[in-house]
Chains A and B, each alone.
Chain A
Amino acid sequence: MKKLLSFFLIGLMLCFAFTGCSDKPKLDPDNPVTLTMWHVYGEQADSPMNRLIEEFNKTVGAEKGIIINVTLMSNASQIGQKLLDAQDEVPGVPSMPDLFFCHSSNAEELGVSNLLNWNDLFTEDELNNYVPEFLEDGKIGDVLAVFPVSKSTHVLYVAGTQFDRFAKDMDVSYDDLSTWDGFFSVAEKYYTWSGGKPFCALDYPIRCVELNALSKGAENFYTEDGWYDFDNPVFKESWMEFAQAISKGHIVVSDLYSNTMVMTGEVIAGIGSSASILYYNDVITYPDNTTEPMNLQVVPLPKTKDADLLVTLAGVGLCSYKTTEQKAEAAAVFARYITEEARNFEFVASTGYMPVNKGSFEKIKDYAFESKAYENLYTTLFEVNKTATAIREPSFAGYYEKIYALYDRLREMQPQLTERFANGEDAAKLAAETWELFRSIE
């Protein structure tokens, strides 16, 4: 009996010893770990990400013991501030999520040391499956803090029905939109043809200015503290081109998203994220409640004449807030799941993004898209991916707050500029005022 008791005690001690010494808490299907998540996919409309998460929870999540719980849906421009508020525990803001999508700049503001380094959770072989530029875009220093799940670029959306009517009358074509010069010319013609309506709304005008400046040979137009070198002449020249078009009323800085302005017939074109396609209606509705089909066309961003096509590499990535090793393991499982070749393609094909898995890109050509607009978009994206050089968005901490402030000021300013131009003031002078406005942002 004494021996039996001794065996029992030894067994019990070994149990405790092994329990205490296990190197990390493993995932357990009977006791699942819940990861809260904020994302930006389909905030105001349909969310393919939510469906993907639901599918994950039912399958791989249930099998491994992981639950992804979406506690907030936002958008790429606002999620950064919300995350900072959550980190500061601002009342009313949901708790800091375990997983979230944001820009590299947001990640830097949150503190890279607070985020998981995905390099530690993926093997080199696994990382080789992803587009290297996209991985590079998520790096802050040597830390891969922002894992690419989908990437977007900026494209030019055109309301086909209206543009065809205008093109026929004014002898213009989509080819004219391939260069910035052609774009400004078409915008001017449309302004005239429509009786003073802007041709295009720009969601991210500063990116157009940057790409145009780069194509013209501008270098180092960023300062060390993450803003612009206003003494850079090429950069200023590029700004002035866009500013004059804005001053003349030919183009506008969008209210927030250019697609709503296209849908209401305020403009017939919009430069925005490829992911905006999710939000385009099938029809344009005019103030008298008449409608006409949208017939949405998607063309690459215009380029600078005689220069190669430069496109922006945009889009948020997946970050994981450092908490426990168990959650880190669960986050890696989820990241692998949503970026798996076939699944990644299915996801991006319904959201207007570019896949991040190398194998997924090849599937674009043969895919049966849900609408003509999506087909147009992916034809353009495929062409852009083949021919254009992708330029990363700036990831300076605090950069986007200044940019959004600039856009707000420009929106306020542009009706007066247009009015003053109509009253005979010089467009170059008005554009110079916008440059001063730009310089005043600190």
Chain B
Amino acid sequence: MKLLPGFTSKKRSMKRKLFAYMFILVALVLTLLFSGLLLLGQFTGAEQTTFETLDFQADVFYRQIESHIEGLAVMSIQLSVDIADAIEKYLSENHIGFSDINDSEINIAAVQEATFNILRQKLLEAKCSGAFIVLNATVNTDADKAANSHTGLYLQRSSLDYSDTGILLYRGLTQLGKEHGVMPHRKWRLEFNTDLFPNYAQLTADSKLPLTSAYRLSDIFTLTGTSERAVLMTLPIIGRDGTVYGLCGFEISESYFRHTFSQPSKLEHAVFTINKGSEGIINHADSFSCGITDGYYLPPNEAYRSSSFGNGLTLFQGDTSSYIGVTKQVNLCKDSDTFYLTALVPKQDFDRWVLDDTVRIILLVLLILTATIGCSYFFTRRYLSPIKKSLEQLKQKEYDRNSGISEIDDLFAFLAEQDRINEAAFDTMRKEKADMQTSLDQIRNAHDETMQQVERLAYSRKNEVDPYDYEDFKNGLKFLTEREKEILDLYIAGKTVKEIVALTGLKESTIRFHNRNIYTKLNVHSLKQLLRYAAIMKQEEGERGKTNGIS
């Protein structure tokens, strides 16, 4: 808290304090978020993510191809052994040597017949698009280019549709094919032209046992008469005496490759290539490519030069397009050429991911900021503002009990009740005050009246009272009976004769009798004179009291 003394100062407003705390909260949330993502490995750059994804894809691609090639190698070895056995069986049964099949339509037809079903069976069993046998023999050594013409069989699957077991005869005797229900390919030829057979001379020269290490993958070439490219797995056909009868193997066409090796991937435009030769370049001419499962891809269609892109990635730059990729160097055949498998994504996709990443982070920060500002605004409106408003109301003593905050409503209720109690007490006091004032006024009035009476009496005493009569009056008081004194006091108290009758229970005549005695003893002639003397006497007693009190 000491870090932000300005915000925590008591003199700061609640609004500023809330803003400060929210700011701290945002910083904390962002720090925790990014730290958490970093710790969980989720917060990585596009380069790193791309490398990891492509490296994984390249691994999967490699394992699939390796497994496929191994399976095909096993089938090739079986094919080679079975074909060699079939040829030797035919040669043995007919007591001829292998060279005797040259220039012999009959022997060649017979050898093809002996091997046809073996080849067809292996074609249907193996994962490939075609299967072939090329023998070191020709049906006509006198024909043009006979040196490069080799008899044999080449069968192809008619469709990539696995439910379709149709087979076409690409090379071989058409009559034989028809007898086995196999129609000629539209671009059929009778024999192989080894000039067009990839690496034929080298493959023949390398033909040696053991078969387990003799299988090879050819260069990519175009199947004669078509636009289809293919790669061949080849294996020598070697007799028991070591005679090399020819080559056999399987074809993987470009269409088959695309269909079979398309990779499951979340990268929509990913491209996977295999090429033999240089790591530093991917050339459409000597590579196969495929895309993702059930997806479409634009195959690389030119030569791409490679350069390091950092983070384990390689940039493949062509004249019209470029890719980012990860390459793996692999050996698919023993003692043979190295292959390069590459998982690629178009550079423009990669650039977009980098941009997306940046935008995503900016949006995330903005989102958190917006959410916090929104929350602050909300808190201010829904929490702080009512409190401030209530405080203002407190100042104004306006207790609106609908503040929306129960504690404030309770406080307002309490204060209102206190006000009501205070008001009631005040009213009582005011009433008491008014009553007292009334009493005071009455007392004042009585006093004033008395004073006026006294003044009048004093005045009349001065003017009307005979001092001797008055002395007689005072002296006469000592001679009054108890009853007469009682009646005299009642007269002095202002009572009438009838009231005195009622109060004393005496008869009026009795009262009149006492009156005459009183008048006589006091030497007065009327009630009025009597009351006047009594008032003077009372006044004198009062003044005497005052004088005694002062003294």
Interfacial residues, chain A to chain B (CB-CB below 8 A):
1, 34, 42-47, 50, 57-58, 67-69, 72-74, 82, 85, 90-95, 255-257, 259-260, 263-264, 266, 278-279, 281, 285-291
Shortest CB distance B109–A (Å): 9
16 A-B pairs whose Cβ atoms sit less than 8 Å apart in the complex? A42-B227, A45-B187, A45-B226, A257-B186, A260-B188, A263-B184, A264-B184, A278-B186, A281-B187, A281-B225, A285-B188, A285-B189, A287-B139, A288-B139, A289-B138, A289-B149
Residues of chain A with a CB closer than 8 A to B377's CB: 1
Interfacial residues, chain B to chain A (CB-CB below 8 A):
105, 138-140, 143-144, 146, 149, 158-164, 168, 173-175, 178, 183-191, 225-227, 255, 294-296, 298, 377
Q: Which of B144, B161, B183 lies in contact with A291, CB distance below 8 A?
A: B144
Further 8 A-B residue pairs, CB within 8 A, beyond A264-B174, A289-B146: A1-B377, A42-B227, A57-B298, A90-B163, A91-B163, A263-B184, A264-B188, A281-B189
Shortest CB distance B356–A (Å): 12
A287 near B173: Cβ-Cβ < 8 Å: yes
Shortest CB distance A87–B (Å): 14
Closest to A91 in B: B163
Q: How far is the CA of A64 from the CA of B139 in the complex (A)?
A: 56
Residues of chain A with a CB closer than 8 A to B174's CB: 260, 264, 266
Q: Which of B162, B164, B168 lies in contact with A44, CB distance below 8 A?
A: B168
Shortest CB distance A232–B (Å): 33
Q: How far is the CA of A40 from the CA of B183 in the complex (A)?
A: 18
B183 near A57: Cβ-Cβ < 8 Å: no
B163 near A259: Cβ-Cβ < 8 Å: no
Closest to A266 in B: B174
Q: How far is the CA of A271 from the CA of B191 in the complex (A)?
A: 27
Residues of chain B with a CB closer than 8 A to A256's CB: 183
Q: Is the interface of A mostly helix, strand, loop or mixed?
A: loop
Q: How far is the CA of A83 from the CA of B294 in the complex (A)?
A: 18
Residues of chain A with a CB closer than 8 A to B163's CB: 85, 90-93
A260 near B186: Cβ-Cβ < 8 Å: yes
Q: How far is the CA of A379 from the CA of B332 in the complex (A)?
A: 53
B227 near A45: Cβ-Cβ < 8 Å: yes
Residues of chain B with a CB closer than 8 A to A68's CB: 296
Residues of chain B with a CB closer than 8 A to A50's CB: 227
Q: How far is the CA of A57 from the CA of B298 in the complex (A)?
A: 8
A46 near B186: Cβ-Cβ < 8 Å: no
Shortest CB distance B242–A (Å): 28
Q: Which of B105, B149, B178 lies in contact with A287, CB distance below 8 A?
A: B105
Shortest CB distance A283–B (Å): 9
Q: Known contacts A72-B160, A281-B225; is A288 also within 8 Å of B140 by CB?
A: yes
B105 near A288: Cβ-Cβ < 8 Å: yes
Q: How far is the CA of A1 from the CA of B227 in the complex (A)?
A: 68
Shortest CB distance A24–B (Å): 23
A279 near B187: Cβ-Cβ < 8 Å: yes
Q: How far is the CA of A191 from the CA of B256 in the complex (A)?
A: 43
B187 near A72: Cβ-Cβ < 8 Å: no
Q: Which of B138, B158, B161, B183 lies in contact with A255, CB distance below 8 A?
A: B183
Q: How far is the CA of A69 from the CA of B299 in the complex (A)?
A: 12
Q: How far is the CA of A252 from the CA of B383 in the complex (A)?
A: 98
